[in-house]
Amino acid sequence: MSLLIGANSKAFDVMHAAGINVRTFRAYRDQFNFIPTLWPAKEAVPEARVTLSIRPVPADLLAGRLDERLRALIAAAPPGVKLSAWHEASNLPGYPDFITADVMAAVHEYLRDLCRGSNVAYGSIICAVPSATRRWMGANLDWYGLDIYDFGEGQFRNWRGGISRSKLFARLDDMRRTCQELSGRDLPEIDICETNSPRPAHRPEWLALLAEWLADNGGSRLQMFFNPSGPLSGPWLPDDQRTIEQLRSLCGT
């Protein structure tokens, strides 16, 4: 399985302009019950594959009230697209009270079944310790996603402040084991759907370690996230040549 490199939609274009061979991007449609009629695409890179996050209200979804719009979207899908609902459901601030683990298990099952036999692969995305979040993740999905950052609490850093390979890989190995149990597959398809270090000097090492683990463990997509005001990510830096060269190298391999 080849590993596609990319970023959130807003950062994709500047990365492409920097000569990085980006081939996947993350898109968000956060309005409740909004089901787009077209799949997000990149005119400059038509072959780029999207991972799309939506927020269907569970009561409406499970009652079938969104089926017509969802079936139309699924039928219009080009090859290689991925769909997810209520990303980071277990921990993202601001979600309504009706988003619970049991509800999300039903949402994942319903959307998984709608997508079966189509060009759309359905999966869930978490941002927490996977083994402690498995009730939110859904069973027998096509793929599983993890949003992971060089968090300020330092749980993936060594005592010098650099990135700890052993600590980071321990979290990723926990993800693999949890997805194996949920999917029943020895090599479940795993994506990193948001990632970055807010410390630019550590981005090359962070990205290299994630790419290494994904390449060895059924990884499919490595999607960075840049937000100028985001404390976990920070802005895209056009003069950060070390990160740019690392991304070019990863895309080349």
CATH classification at residue 234: 3.20.20.80
- On whether the pTM is more than 0.95, the answer is yes
pLDDT at position 253 is 66
pLDDT digits (tens, 9 = 90+) for 171-225: 999 999 999 999 999 999 999 999 999 999 999 999 999 999 999 998 999 999 9
How far, CA to CA in Å, does 176 sit from each of 70, 165, 219, 221?
30, 16, 10, 15
Question: How many CB atoms are closer than 10 A to CB 131?
Answer: 12
Q: Is 60 exceeded by the pLDDT of residue 1?
A: no
Q: What is the DSSP letter of 231?
A: T
Backbone φ/ψ region at 33: left (φ over 0), alpha (ψ -120 to 50), beta: left
Residue range(s) defining the domain that contains residue 220 = 4-252
Q: Quote the longest CA-to-CA distance of the chain.
A: 55
- Tokens 């990135």 correspond to 163
Q: Domain tally for the chain?
A: 1
How far, CA to CA in Å, does 126 sit from each of 12, 18, 134, 194, 234?
22, 30, 9, 10, 20
Average pLDDT of the chain, as a whole number = 96
pLDDT at position 252 is 81
Helix/strand/coil (H/E/C) assignment for every residue in 71-129: HHHHHCCCCCEEEEECCCCCCCCCCCCCCCHHHHHHHHHHHHHHHCCCCEEEEEEECCC
Average pLDDT over residues 69-94: 97
